[in-house]
Amino acid sequence: MKDPNVNNSKIPDFPCLALAPLAGVTTLPVREFFSEHGADLTHTEMISCAGLARNNEKTLDMLKISEREAPLVVQLFAPDEKILAEGALKVKENCENFFAFGINMACPMPKITKNFCGAALLKRPDVASKMVMELKKFNFPVWVKIRKFEKENETLNFIENLVRSGVDNVCVHGRTASQRYEGVADKNILKHAAKNFPGLISASGDVKTPEDINEYFSFGCVCVMPARGAVANPFLFEEYRGINRDFDERVEILINFAYRAKEISGEHKALVAMKRFAGAILKFSHGSAEKRNLACMSTSLDEIIKILRER
């Protein structure tokens, strides 16, 4: 049922392919890019509810969205339901036409977990439950991202706790918090989670190819969320949809992205984004290793654009 508080044009069809939240990556221009090149749904970076509550200018700036984006999940992090609610209120006051609230319970980095946020919430199921119930009061879908536990039954029990609290979707990353981003993601936990909680599970972890996407969908996941795989190949979404562009076309698309990113965020942030994406297509060009090194060392957009256009 479509929520009257949500712009119905910004509700994705399921199953869907989503750009996962990535700190320092899923900025407005990057979300626009993926929305225009195959994503059904995107996420903001993790946004601090404490920062929103303090009216921190940089934090509030992360709430800027555009009509060119696909349906958007605003992902928040907080240590408890009280601070979460304060942040959610600021989102509603400053952000229009987003699809859902997200709660990050997956980030394993010490600067987040030491403040009882992110993956630290996996050890606090009662608080996690209260956070979901608090956000449900805002009449938006609530999506939660978690990591797998060491034992499968612990993962499934945590998901069940969230489901009882009213969660609309749980994205499971197939690595434990202690693994961080090392090792191989456990796909079996997604298969079992999707079977036990049909219609409620999204997948994340080692989504690098169209075959990976299809495999997760075959488990019954309602959404698949490439993260680092999308950064490594910004045309992954299109490839999954059977769109295969040649090298020159990809270059021109990325150059247009660079100008749009500069318009929105300034040259420095545009250059950072382009350095992430450039390596993905330069590996198919003549003298790729040298060009990738030069692109990484570029100090201006003009410089990196020149490298991309050289044959």
Q: How many residues are present in the chain?
A: 311
Residues 6+ apart with CB under 8 A from 233: 208, 239, 280
Give pLDDT, residue 294.
86
pLDDT digits (tens, 9 = 90+) for 239-248: 999 999 998 9
- Tell which residue, 141, 130, 55, 117, has the closest CA to residue 90: 55
Percent of the chain with pLDDT over 70: 95
Long-range contacts of 253-262 (CB under 8 A, 24+ apart): 253/37, 254/278, 254/281, 254/308, 255/305, 255/308, 255/309, 257/29, 257/33, 258/301, 258/304, 258/305, 259/301, 260/29, 260/32, 260/33, 261/27, 261/29, 261/30, 262/301
Prediction pTM value: 0.92
pLDDT of 308: 87
| Contact call for residues 253 and 37 (beta carbons, < 8 A) | yes
pLDDT band of residue 284 (cuts 50, 70, 90) is low
> What does the mean pLDDT of the chain come to?
93
pLDDT score recorded for residue 8: 42
Question: For 86-140, what is each residue's pLDDT tens digit?
Answer: 999 999 999 888 999 999 999 999 999 999 999 999 999 999 999 999 999 999 9
* pLDDT exceeds cutoff 60 at 76: yes
Span 1-60, pLDDT tens digits: 334 344 444 789 999 999 999 999 999 999 999 999 999 999 999 999 999 999 999 999
Q: What is the pLDDT of residues 193-217, one digit of tens each?
A: 999 999 999 999 999 999 999 999 9
- Cα 237 to its chain centre, rounded Å, is 13
The answer to whether 169 and 144 have CB atoms below 8 angstroms apart is yes
State the pLDDT confidence band at 287, using cuts at 50, 70 and 90.
low
